[in-house]
Amino acid sequence: MDIYQKPPLDHVRQLLDENQLPTEDLKNPNMDHFFWCGENDSVNAVIGLEIIGANGNDGKDEKVGLLRSLAVSSSARGLGYGSALVKRLEEHACAIGIEQLYLLTDTAEDYLLKKGYTKIQRENASEAIKRTKEFSGLCPASAAVMRKSLLR
């Protein structure tokens, strides 16, 4: 399975819309940390990383990331695209110094628990994550907040 970086924005928006995920804050510059799988210019699956650097809850500097926009087209589910993209995004995040990955989800909690993510209370999220558009309004307050340490 081939994984590509910087998917076409219009294809990403279409796939996210189909999966009822937010697209309002997507801009071309932050597509540098998005990955996709597909054939013939068709985006079958996508995942993105929003890089956030800030002070952690304990006052120490940390570099955190927000895993966002994991979506697989209905015709491509069960083919391993999601797993391959999560793995690739985590490798990319490690390579650029991300220490913690966070995400918000209403639909993929069980799936991401199997990938090593832990559900946390909203108040325990990094202050930097709390300031993101996803945390503060794009994702519903009922969304599960999850975290994974990338430190080895």
Amino acid letter at 141?
A: A
Tens digit of each residue's pLDDT (9 = 90 or more) over 98-109: 999 999 998 899
- pLDDT score, position 30: 72
Place of tokens 């996508």: 46
Quote the pLDDT of residue 114.
95
Q: pLDDT tens for the chain, 152 residues: list them.
A: 899 999 988 889 999 999 988 888 887 667 889 999 987 667 899 999 998 865 444 555 668 999 998 999 998 999 999 999 999 999 999 999 999 999 999 889 999 999 999 999 999 998 888 888 788 777 877 888 999 999 76
Catalogue all structural domains in the chain, each as residue range(s) with its CATH number.
Answer: 4-149 (3.40.630.30)
What integer pLDDT is reported at residue 148 of this predicted model?
96
Q: Distance between CA atoms of 21 and 125, rounded to whole angstroms?
A: 21
Output the six-digit token pair for 80.
């391993």
Residue 135 pLDDT: 82
Record the pTM.
0.88
How confident is the model at residue 152, as a pLDDT? 64
Identify how many contiguous H helices and E strands the chain contains and give both numbers: 5, 7
Contact 18, 73 (CB under 8 A): yes
Q: Is 114 exposed, middle or buried (0-12, 13-18, 19+ CB in 10 A)?
A: exposed
Question: What's the pLDDT score for residue 61?
Answer: 62
Supply 71's token pair. 């979506």
